[in-house]
């Protein structure tokens, strides 16, 4: 009984993951080619945005670790 339930549960999760992965692949394929005109200004803006976001994410992760360790927001 328990084994059947366990298999049903595990298979359910596996199916959800597989279906999501399939859907993500379909979406990635659908939008593979960006449709905005790739002018140099646009390319530079996107590179700057990437660098900016990476810096911000590093700061957030650092803060998150500090909050987890100390348990304080400040």
Partner 1 sequence: MNIWAKLFYRFRKIIKALKLYFIIAGPGLIVMLADNDAGGITTYAVTGAKYKYELLWFILLLLPVAYFVQEMTVRLGAVTKKGHAESIFYGFGPFWGWFSLIDLILTDWLTLVTEFIGMTAALSIFHIPPFITVLVVAIIMFLMVLQGSYWTWEKIAFLFCAFNLVYIPAAFIVNPTVSQVLSGTFIPSIPGGKFSNEIFFFLMANIGTTIAPWMIFFQQSAVVDKGMLEKDIPWGKVDTFVGSTFTVLIAMFCIVTTGTALFGHAGANEIQSAADAAHYFLSHGNNHLGTLLAIGLFDAGFLGAICISLASSWAFGEVFGWAHSLNLKIKEAPWFYITYMFALLTAGGVVLIPNAPLGIITLFVQVLAVTLLPAALVFLLILLNDKKIMGKYANTLTQNIINFTIVGLIIIVSTLYAVTTIFPHIF
Interface contacts to partner 1, rule CB under 8 A:
23, 27-28, 30-37, 42, 45-46, 49, 52-53, 56-57, 59-60, 63-64, 67, 73-74
For residues 12, 13, 18 and 21, what is the CA-based torsion angle, rounded to 10 degrees? 140
Q: What are the percentages of helix, strand and coil residues in the chain, rounded to 5?
A: 80, 0, 20
Residue (1 or 74) nearer to partner 1, CB: 74
Return the structure tokens found at 42.
């646009």
Residue (5 or 40) nearer to partner 1, CB: 40
Residue (6 or 50) nearer to partner 1, CB: 50
Return the structure tokens found at 31.
């939008």
**What's the closest the beta carbon of residue 59 comes to partner 1, in angstroms?**
6
């Amino acid at each position: 009984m328990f084994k059947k339930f366990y298999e049903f549960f595990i298979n359910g999760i596996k199916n959800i993951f597989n279906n999501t992965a399939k859907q993500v692949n379909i979406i990635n394929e659908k939008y593979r080619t960006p449709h905005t005109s790739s002018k140099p200004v646009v390319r530079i803006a996107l590179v700057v945005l990437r660098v900016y976001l990476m810096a911000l994410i590093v700061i957030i992760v650092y803060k998150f670790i500090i909050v987890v360790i100390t348990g304080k927001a400040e």
